[in-house]
Amino acid sequence: MTECEKETAFLLQSLAYDEGAVSQELKEEITQIHRDKRCLRRATWLMTFLMMLVLVGVAYAAVLIEYDPGAV
């Protein structure tokens, strides 16, 4: 667990003692930030996977496909 995660957990525990409107808004904002972070991480992994797939396709085209200039 990173330092930021520890501090966030502590903040959420502290906010649990207060049931006011401000603390509820803070809890919702923290939850939204966690969702956004998870979404960004997934998008990054997806883009990395797609980039690797493109690189494999380019390598295949560059190395394995036989080029015959007379066939064109």
The helix-helix angle for 21-59 and 3-16 (nearest 10°) equals 150
Domains: count for the chain: 1
> Tens digits of per-residue pLDDT, 46-71?
999 999 999 999 998 888 777 766 65
Rounded distance between C-alpha atoms, residue 20 and residue 39, angstroms:
29
Full domain range(s) for residue 28:
3-71
pLDDT digits (tens, 9 = 90+) for 12-32: 899 888 888 998 999 999 999
Q: Do 26 and 16 form a contact (C-beta atoms < 8 A)? A: no
The pTM of the full predicted model, rounded to 2 decimals, is 0.68
